[in-house]
Amino acid sequence: MKPTWTGVYPAVTTKFKENGELDIKAFIKNIEHQIESGVSGIILGGSLGESSTLSADEKIQLVQALQPYRSKVPVIMNIAESSTERAIEAAIRAEKEGADGLMLLPPLLYKADAEETVAYFKEVASSTSLPILLYNNPVDYKIEITVDMFEQLKDVSNIEAVKESTRDLTNITRMKNAFGDRFKIMGGVDTLCLEALLLGADGLVAGLVCAFPKETVVLFELAKQGKIEEAVQLYRWFMPLLEMDIHAKLVQYIKLCEVYTGIGTEYVRAPRKIITGAEREGIVATIEAALKNRPVYN
């Protein structure tokens, strides 16, 4: 299924067994819950999916595991590489193995300048026919994809969308002013998701959706239907949880949320460790408070 870059796209966590192996059964359980809740696509192997600890083969295993679900939602594989050659290899393989699209980060490790970054995107895009979502997150990855750079990329037909995670909401208006609907815009920061939608974002790439898919989908729908008061009330309930998405330990925190909502496991790969002590108690208290007052949606 071709991605439309509208609606809610979970950046799903990767499920592991206690011994560190992929837990495909737990992964599929969560995916099925996402689909039942009305998400519009699945993004795997991203930052929240512990991309840096996954081998190329493991990412493909996850793509292959989702083949039976491609008639319901598009499957998007993340590419986060430090060389153009490896990024191209990943793109070609993802297309061959059944991915429906790609999320593409700027080059890792080396802080490429604008010319180098644009060339990187163009070369990877030219290696595949898959639609591409660029990930614009200079806070974490130190390279910003500016409006001027998008101007140089607008004729690359399969670069279709951007995950907007700069934390600068004015970028949504700048992009709409510069390009109209040429690029779909996906809000990429959970704590700014409602604001992003109200300013014209077409969809969300979300984190807490991994544990709370129905609430995230309802929030998107309320915003797009203009039911602002209802959306704000839901957002206020959600915010203590959404704050976990912008913490360095977002993976551990969101996985713990998944455990409490019954659709995930807590195991992570080193150097990450499962949180303990006072830190764990604080996160559990936030989760339990949210669950106590959790809104009910059919």
- The bridge status of strand 101-104 relative to strand 132-136 is parallel
Q: Is residue 298 part of a domain?
A: no
Contacts of 276 (CB under 8 A, 6+ apart): none
Q: Is residue 297 part of a domain?
A: no
Supply the range of the domain harboring residue 89. Answer: 7-292
Q: Is residue 2 part of a domain?
A: no
Q: Is residue 143 part of a domain?
A: yes
**Number of folded domains that form the chain:** 1
Residue 14 sits in a domain whose CATH number is 3.20.20.70
Quick: pLDDT tens for 155-197: 999 999 999 999 999 999 999 999 999 999 999 999 999 999 9
The edge-to-edge listing of strands for the beta sheet with 159-164 is 7-10, 203-206, 184-187, 159-164, 132-136, 101-104, 75-79, 42-44
| pLDDT mean over 27-31 | 98
Q: Is residue 88 part of a domain?
A: yes
pLDDT at residue number 261: 98
- The bridge status of strand 7-10 relative to strand 101-104 is unpaired
Asked whether the beta carbons of 246 and 190 are under 8 A apart, the reply is: yes
Using CA atoms, how far apart are residues 185 and 204, in angstroms rounded to an integer? 8
Q: Is residue 198 part of a domain?
A: yes
Q: Is residue 118 part of a domain?
A: yes
Quick: pLDDT tens for 82-141: 999 999 999 999 999 999 999 999 999 999 999 999 999 999 999 999 999 999 999 999
Asked whether the beta carbons of 237 and 297 are under 8 A apart, the reply is: no
Instruction: Give the number of residues written for the chain.
Output: 298
Using CA atoms, how far apart are residues 24 and 26, in angstroms rounded to an integer? 6
| pLDDT mean over 54-62 | 97
Q: Is residue 87 part of a domain?
A: yes
pLDDT-based confidence at residue 298 (cuts at 50, 70, 90): confident
Using CA atoms, how far apart are residues 11 and 78, in angstroms rounded to an integer? 9
pLDDT at residue number 289: 98
pLDDT at residue number 297: 83
Q: Is 161 helix (H, G, I), strand (E, B) or coil?
A: strand
pLDDT-based confidence at residue 296 (cuts at 50, 70, 90): confident
Q: Among 247, 252, 263, 171, which residue's Cα sits nearest to residue 215? A: 263
Stated as kind and residue range, the H or E segment containing 22 is: none
